[in-house]
Homo-oligomer: A and B are copies of this chain.
Amino acid sequence: MKTTEVTYPEGAIKVLDKGFVRLVDVMGDDESIVQSARVSYGKGTKSVSEDEGLIRYLMRHQHTTPLEMVEFKFHCRMPIFVARQWIRHRTANVNELSARYSEMPDWFYEPKEELYTTQSAQNRQGGTGEQVAHAKEVAASFVKTQTDSYGEYERYLGLDMRRELARVNLPVSLYTEWYWKIDLHNLLNFLKLRMDSHAQYEIRVFAEAMGDIVKEKVPMAWKAFEDYSLESIRFTKLELEVLKKALKGESVNLAEHIKNKRERGECLEKFKTLGYDKITLE
């Protein structure tokens, strides 16, 4: 089996072992947000500090249409299973490498050894930090499965099998590539979900790389996004009752306020973050 050298386009930021994110183009900046917002809200003053105030106001009050006036275009390479999560965000424009047209290179995602961790019992969609047994051997078997399936793929192409069928036993750890274009408002929604600690590690690192790019291109909007969204906490109606009590300095037994056990746990987490400990689960 051939092993093709992994190449990267100029300006690519490497992500995972063979992936990348590359900013192809951006339309607009913080000022473009202000410019279009002023169509709605009138001319008014125009100092930089007032611009920032306006952006923060828009973000705080979820007046998001001016954010849509900035557009980012990325070129990315990621494993297919990551692409499958990513594509669920429907408001983007996508042009993906087609395995019907093109022969796929033999680039597979090989997780770092420390990522072979065990399933979390609490979180059905997450892992623990603990490694599985025999991680080194498992890592080797990952590569073997990938190499074997690619060997078969090559053999099928050698038989001149239609490409669209020859590829169907390639695993979702295979890297694919696409152009992905999205406006800032929807990009921030994507980043909020995919930078979250509940997102799978392998997509989170892509989101983080894109977050760094966005931060550089629209620093004011990014700061507002951090303050009002990313690092904010929402308290539910039930939690607000708990909060009222806590603000009076009272001890709270969560079982009296929140019926659902899982929900109680989530509430407890929030109060821990706030450094409040006069609260018990049941």
**Partner of A161 from B69, B88, B117, B274 at Cβ < 8 Å:** B117
Q: Which residue of B lies closest to A157 (CB)?
A: B119
In the complex, the answer to whether A161 meets B149 with C-beta atoms within 8 Å is no
| A94 contact set on B, CB distance < 8 A | 65, 88
Contact partner, A149, options B119, B171, B227, Cβ 8 Å: B171
Cβ contacts under 8 Å, A41 to chain B: 98, 101-102, 124
Contacts of A237 in B (CB 8 A): 226-228, 231-232
Interface residues on A, range: 35 or more
Q: Let me know if B102 and A40 touch, CB within 8 A.
A: yes
- Known contacts A79-B168, A169-B145, A262-B57: A39-B236 contact under CB 8 Å: no
Tell me, in angstroms, the Cα distance from A61 to B275 when the chains sit together.
23
Chain B residues positioned under 8 Å from A37 (CB to CB): 95
* Contact code string A53-78 (vs B, CB < 8 Å = 1, else 0): 10011001110011011010101000
* Known A71-B27, A162-B117, A162-B120: A167·B81 in contact at CB below 8 Å: yes
- Residues of A at the B interface (CB closer than 8 Å) are 24-28, 32, 35-37, 39-42, 53, 56-57, 60-62, 65-66, 68-69, 71, 73, 75, 79-81, 84, 87-88, 90-91, 93-102, 109, 111, 115-120, 124-128, 132-134, 138, 141-142, 145-146, 148-149, 152, 155-156, 159-165, 167-173, 177-179, 181, 183, 193, 198, 200, 202, 226-228, 231-240, 243-244, 246-249, 260, 262-263, 266, 273-276
Given contacts A81-B99, A240-B273, A246-B247, 4 further A-B contacts (CB under 8 A): A119-B160, A127-B165, A165-B202, A167-B172
A-B pairs with the 8 shortest C-beta distances? A127-B162, A68-B93, A231-B237, A27-B27, A36-B179, A100-B125, A168-B173, A90-B90
